[in-house]
Amino acid sequence: MTSVPVSKQYGSIRTGAIDEAAHPGHQNWLRAIMWGLSVMLVLIPLYSDFQRKGWIPDLQAGEPFPGTGSVTVARAINRREITSRLTVITADANAIVQLFVPVPNAHVLSVYVAANSRTTIPAPAGTFRVRLIEGRKWHGTRRYFGPNTSYETVAELMTFEPRRGHIFDLNRRPDGSLKTRLMLTYPESL
């Protein structure tokens, strides 16, 4: 019986630094991937910021944004459930804050808030997925802010308790506590 060395049967197993002479392009390829990932980590938040500030070209005419405090409410909402509050403070962009029931992802409420404004509205008690839509030039409830629509989802589900509520301050700052995820899809029409 002859034995076959493992390195001949399965290839060689090495640990430690990569031999640059044996793989001359390996480090260049790895550097390119790392550079690309680093650039993406910067560009994705910048893109959302550009949308909020209206810097992406939008050649279509806009419409008047709904008045601050205007709401769109689902028909299935029971008036007795509206025992909480929702306060929204906007920065330099118009905003729509939406509440969705997580399962089956059903729209409950949307509140419209003009740029540099504050509003408080009654809200239903319950646990919701919160979505933020921001932009400058309004195109209606189908196209929202056109190419400048910034669309984010609050990372955690939010619970609105009776006689209590939440304040959403949309002024971006490094020490902010509202964790959001950028949505790569377009918001659903209302």
Distance CA 55, CA 126 (A): 37
Between 97 and 56, the more confident residue is 97
Which pLDDT score is estimated for 33? Answer: 87
What is the residue extent of each domain of the chain? 24-190
As a whole number of angstroms, the distance between CA 57 and CA 60 comes to 9
* pLDDT tens-digit series, residues 6-38: 444 444 445 555 555 555 566 788 888 888 888
Residue 173's pLDDT band (cuts 50, 70, 90):
confident
The confidence score (pLDDT) of residue 88 equals 97
Q: Give tens-digit pLDDT for 126-147.
A: 999 999 999 999 999 999 999 9
3-class SS at 165? strand
Strand locations in the chain (E): 70-73, 84-89, 94-101, 106-113, 118-123, 126-135, 150-154, 158-160, 165-169, 180-182
The CATH architecture assigned to 24-190 reads Sandwich (2.60)
